[in-house]
Structure 1
Amino acid sequence: MKQFQELPPRRQEQLMAFDRLLTIMDELREQCPWDRKQTLESLRHLTIEETYELSDAILENDLPEIRKELGDIQLHLIFYAKIAAEKEAFDIADVLHGISDKLISRHPHIYGDGSGQPVKAETEEQVKANWEQLKLKEGNRSVLGGVPGSLPALVKAMRIQEKARGAGFDWEERQQVWEKVEEEMQEFKAEFNGDTGQAIDTQRAESEFGDLLFSLVNYARFIDINPETALERTNKKFIKRFQYLEERARANGKSLNDMTLAEMDVYWNEAKTI
């Protein structure tokens, strides 16, 4: 490992900035009543909030905001490590060495696997496949074991499908996936018994709707669309148009509750052109 003085100036500055944050964290933990009171559990929901704020900044391609949110998340990471160090469990050096060791072991096509035999991974798919096999060798009982249970369902569906693909379990052609979407659409539609007037079996309809969503996520993956990003962009688009509708209504002395759908559609169509 290089001595500090041998490092390029920018790397020295980066390490000094990291040291500065560690020092501030030490001081806050000792002197600030709020920081001193925090626990791993109390920080958890704040970290989740910060992660979503970073996600929003990324979707908006707001680089200054991304920089800010990265700082907030970095603070949380340092905070967790500080609390763990106080418990004599681990410190930030253990965290960083741990992730470095994992990256080296998970990239045998770059660092070798210790056997002296070359490991090939010339495509992204080969890298993913190797990654999942290595995780199984490390003790994971299932390829899907690394998918967090608390992930939002849409994100979880995407991760499940990606991991299954890494193990070789996937459709071969995009058309096959689309045929599955159409099949699930028909099964979902059938649960409404639209032609018979019979009552809807809500539980079965929900199950079929879940299957339909899962198949749509699968198709999105095949055409390189992130479904979570796509849906969030649509959410933001709807919010922008709806707020325009509200503003135009207020400007004309109207309330949405008193307007007809036809009247609202006029403003809605205007919003589409902005």
Structure 2
Amino acid sequence: MSEEMKGFDRLVEIMRELRAPGGCPWDAEQTHESLKRYLLEECYEVIEAIDAKDPAHLKEELGDLMLQPIFHAAIAEERGEFTMEDVLDAINEKLVRRHPHVFGDQIVKSADEQVANWERIKKAEKGEERKSALSGVPPHLPALMKAHKITEKAARVGFDWEHTDQVFAKVIEELHEFEETLAQGDQERMEAELGDLLFAIVNLGRFLSLDTEEALRKTINRFIRRFNHVEDKLHAAGVTMQEASLEEMDKLWEEAKRIEQQEEER
């Protein structure tokens, strides 16, 4: 047995001990439902470690994330539903089954062709015809990610634009429609038109092979870094954000942008 598998088996055993009588009260009382928030949190912390380009941090966060499926499998095992071995057997079989070009004699010429082939195999595995081409998108995905998945599925059956300028024109159209609702002061219509605008922007990102969720997340991170720079500079000068003028803050904001650009050029 490899050292990796020994470590994995040890982790499974540790979780069993934590949930056993005389183990950890907190671990013992957890359920699939109570652990949902932690699964999401660990996923985002892995992404944060990747963005930070910190191998040591990534190693730690991957371990925390790996704990989550082991936790869920331990709960299921106690209920007589399935074990961690069942989980591993299922994913191993699925990977081999859905990669016949690797583990069989099928030929795939591109990544796009493989995605289409994956979907065909997946559809056949389900054993039933889905009612809609949009079926299969997890309902609880973040909204931008869900919109990307929806437009991606629609595009696969031909419901898509032909050129980038058409998609861009749709964004402009939705922007104008949102602008028209501002003067009316109708919150419900404003919300609807804002949703249309966001959906059109996501579709443009998807058409250009850009991940809108990732793009917005990176923009948020840039905003936080620049805002913190402004705060730190003002604090060092003995000035609060409330006391500083917009002109002063904007100058420091531009300074933060220049620092970022210089770091990227190194």
Common fold: TM-score over 0.5: yes
Q: CA deviation at 1:140?
A: 5.8
Write the letter of the residue equivalent to 2:241: L
TM-score, length basis structure 1: 0.85
Equivalence for 2:118: 131
Gaps of 5+ in 1: 5-11, 113-117, 194-198
Query: Using the alignment, how far apart are the partners of 1:101 and 1:168 within structure 2?
Result: 31
Percent identity between the aligned chains? 46
TM-score, length basis structure 2: 0.87
Equivalence for 2:176: 186
Alpha carbons 1:192, 1:200 under 8 Å: kept = yes
Which moved further from structure 2: 164-173 or 221-230?
Answer: 164-173
Query: Using the alignment, how far apart are the partners of 1:106 and 1:169 within structure 2?
Result: 26
Distance 1:61 1:101, change over 3 A: same
Which moved further from structure 2: 257-266 or 228-237?
Answer: 257-266
Tell me the SS of whatever aligns to 1:73: helix
Alignment RMSD: 2.0
Equivalence for 1:224: 209
* Matched length: 254
Distance 1:67 1:144, change over 3 A: farther
Deviations 1:195-229 (A, max 9, x none): xxxx3222222222211211111111222221111
Query: Using the alignment, how far apart are the partners of 1:131 and 1:171 within structure 2?
Result: 24
- The yes-or-no answer on 1:122 pairing with 2:109 is yes
Query: Using the alignment, how far apart are the partners of 2:180 and 2:120 within structure 1?
Result: 40
Query: Using the alignment, how far apart are the partners of 2:129 and 2:118 within structure 1?
Result: 12
Equivalence for 2:72: 80
Distance 1:24 1:258, change over 3 A: same
Deviations 1:20-43 (A, max 9, x none): 212222222222222222221222
Gaps of 5+ in 2: 260-266
Matches within 5 A, 1:201-240: 201-240=186-225
Which moved further from structure 2: 21-30 or 133-142?
Answer: 133-142
Deviations 1:218-251 (A, max 9, x none): 1112222211111111111111111111112122
Query: Using the alignment, how far apart are the partners of 2:190 and 2:29 within structure 1?
Result: 48
Write the letter of the residue equivalent to 1:255: T
Matches within 5 A, 1:144-159: 144-159=134-149
Query: Using the alignment, how far apart are the partners of 1:249 and 1:110 within structure 2?
Result: 58
Matches within 5 A, 1:45-84: 45-84=37-76
